[in-house]
């Protein structure tokens, strides 16, 4: 598998100012796994805006090379759902039947998502686009 250069993260626009000053913080995660969740697919990442359809969101690009590989891990929720859908045959072939047994590379390959347990610095982040409450993609000007 060829690793992507860029990963994506979507969050509410109200967090934009703090992210651009402090970076993406795992402590702000709403998941039980305190991590920043990233996808190699910008459309998959932007789909998370649908969880709060009446709120404006922003899509960030994150440079993979700026991240510490030791802090990358599998996505606990999406990967487990994917593994459950694959069944016993996949588990027998790979030896992986629980998300915690997978590497971050397998998580990225299988469900297009990973978790990052560290702070993603501002220098590794760029704004890709704003997602209005109707989910129309529009470029963010001046960012």
**Cβ atoms 83, 23 nearer than 8 A:** no
The rounded distance, in Å, linking the Cα atoms of 106 and 116 is 14
What are the tens digits of pLDDT across the range 33-91?
Answer: 789 999 999 989 888 766 777 788 899 999 999 999 999 999 988 999 999 999 889 88
Rg (CA), the chain: 15
Through-space distance between the first and last CA atoms of the chain, rounded to whole angstroms:
32
The predicted model scores a pTM of 0.84
Q: What is the CB neighbour count within 10 angstroms for residue 93?
A: 9
What are the tens digits of pLDDT across the range 81-132?
Answer: 999 999 889 889 999 989 999 999 999 999 999 999 999 999 999 999 877 6
116 by DSSP, 3-state: which?
strand
| Helices marked H in the chain | 16-22, 42-46, 76-86, 88-94, 104-111
């Amino acid at each position: 598998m060829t690793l992507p250069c860029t990963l994506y993260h979507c969050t509410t626009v109200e967090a934009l100012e703090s992210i651009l000053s402090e970076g993406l913080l795992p402590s702000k995660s709403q998941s039980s796994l305190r991590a920043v969740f990233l996808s190699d697919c910008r459309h998959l990442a932007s789909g998370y805006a649908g969880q709060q359809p009446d709120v404006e969101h922003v899509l960030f690009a994150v440079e993979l090379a700026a991240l510490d590989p030791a802090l990358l891990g599998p996505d606990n929720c999406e990967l487990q759902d994917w593994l459950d859908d694959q069944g016993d045959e996949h588990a027998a072939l790979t030896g992986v039947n629980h998300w915690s047994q997978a590497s971050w590379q397998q998580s990225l390959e299988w469900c297009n998502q990973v978790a990052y347990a560290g702070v993603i610095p501002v220098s590794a982040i760029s704004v890709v686009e704003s997602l209005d409450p109707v989910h129309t993609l529009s470029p963010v000007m001046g960012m």
